Structure 1
């Protein structure tokens, strides 16, 4: 008797296949009011608005007896890479809507799952 894959497991599997053509420690998106808010990398890659990535250059010490005053720093850069439709690897393109870009198929699937 074979059991089907649960929806939760399928979502995790789909997320594992998403492309992330960027690396960073902190992902931020800018709201229409100009505020920067932290977000996940899944939302970051699909946001149709200004985005930036911060990388921290800190060295962590493992030995608590070797504690030293360490100067830390960060580098923040605007990100002008591709915008992907949420949940897929298809590029959506820049429109400047300050919203997450969803594909029509995903929206229809969500509606069908909710009401039917």
Structure 2
């Protein structure tokens, strides 16, 4: 969580310097050695990957993650970080709604309250940031 907070705070600097496209790829490429080191340090064994039945969801996930990251960087370049980051951080709201619509998961009162508070917070941040 701390790393994400730092990332969202300082991502505007490279986006302004080199554009919205490259910071996403540079951050992924620089994090790969850290992930590899963590796997080796913890002696985590990775099982053989089975594509059967998982290729299309995996492909869709990778595609949407890339589009989301590039969209976020473009929004950071064009808008205020103090507004864009909270909007991007409200993805659990979308997750709850999609889980309800697609998987028919029930929405609890606590989730409804959280969605309302999140949306009110985003609106207040947007109004005060203008």
Question: 1 or 2, which has the higher strand percentage?
Answer: 1
TM value normalised by structure 1: 0.25
Question: 1 or 2, which has the higher helix percentage?
Answer: 2
Identify which of structures 1 and 2 has the higher relative contact order when contacts are C-alpha pairs closer than 8 Å and 6+ apart. 2
TM value normalised by structure 2: 0.23
